[in-house]
Amino acid sequence: MKPVIVKDLHKSFGDKEVLKGVSFEVEEGEIFGLVGPNGAGKTTTLRILATILKPSRGDVWIMGYSVKDNPEKVRENISYLPEDAGVYKHLTGFEFLRMISEIYGVGRDGFDRGVEVCGLGEALSNPLSSYSRGMKRRILLASALMIQPKVAILDEPTSGLDVRHAVYIRKMIKKHVRDSGSSAIISSHNMLEVEYLCDRIAFIDDGRIIAEGRSSELKQIYNAENLEEVFTKIIGGV
């Protein structure tokens, strides 16, 4: 069973159709990258995968459960890191990780894993309001990975972070997928990040997947030196 099957996904907000038939599949142990310009439909797709939005048409199956029919079962199998997600400013890092571990029922092991993944040490005793942007992103990533989800959905995981934090987060994502054998779907604007992290990539534009494959395949098909060039050739420059 493929962990993620997205089939003919449509989503409209009022008269505006944001997704116009998105389809892709993610294999077990695979990191799948969703790449595209702003407003292409990346976040909407990931929100539907995370059961926050409902598809207007089409469906998504995660670990065999439909996001339409079994959103609660889907949520038991995923973790979701929204783009630009905030934190509960009055909770300490420890309290936040404990809340997540209790909700997912992963116990002390899960909590310890969270502490290890975020690597924030003594800062975990401090309120989250005192954390830098990078530290907040690290603890949010830890909360997403500590529960060992079957599918981690990570929307722009390193967006706006300095190199130090970005590198740390990429390493943690890769380590999690390698160690757990689970899958991850990542959206990103950073082509270097996508190339480093993702086993397969889908380019999305105007609500449609317009190219999909391994990084090497795409570069070969589009006769490009890197993914940025592929992006420019597929989607076009400004």
Give the dihedral sign, CA 48/75/135/167.
negative
What is the C-alpha to C-alpha distance for residues 222 and 227, in angstroms, rounded to an integer?
10
Residue 106 contacts other proteins per CB under 8 A: no
Which residues, numbered 72-101, are part of the site for other proteins (CB under 8 A)? 72, 75-76, 78-82, 84-91, 95, 98-100
Is-contact 49 13, C-beta < 8 A? no
Site of tokens 């317009």: 210
CB of 85 to other proteins, least distance (A): 5
Is-contact 72 103, C-beta < 8 A? no
**Helix H or strand E encompassing 142:** helix 133-145
DSSP state, residue 148: -
138 phi/psi in degrees, rounded to 5: -65, -40
What is the C-alpha to C-alpha distance for residues 85 and 181, in angstroms, rounded to an integer?
26
CB of 128 to other proteins, least distance (A): 10
What is the identity of the amino acid at 113?
R
CB of 94 to other proteins, least distance (A): 13
210 phi/psi in degrees, rounded to 5: -110, -10
Nearest CA among 226, 224, 228, 215 for reference residue 30: 215
Residue 39 contacts other proteins per CB under 8 A: no
Residue 53 contacts other proteins per CB under 8 A: yes
Which residues, numbered 122-151, are part of the site for other proteins (CB under 8 A)? 140
Name the one range near other proteins by CB under 8 A: 15-23, 50-58, 118-126, 194-202: 50-58
Which residues, numbered 187-206, are part of the site for other proteins (CB under 8 A)? none
CB of 7 to other proteins, least distance (A): 20
Site of tokens 């054998």: 181
Q: Which is nearer to other proteins, 151 or 173 (CB)?
A: 151
Q: Which of 51, 187, 190, 215 binds other proteins (CB under 8 A)?
A: 51
Q: Which is nearer to other proteins, 118 or 211 (CB)?
A: 118
Name the one range near other proteins by CB under 8 A: 19-27, 49-57, 189-197, 230-238: 49-57
- Chain positions contacting other proteins, by CB under 8 A: 13, 47, 50-54, 72, 75-76, 78-82, 84-91, 95, 98-100, 102-104, 140
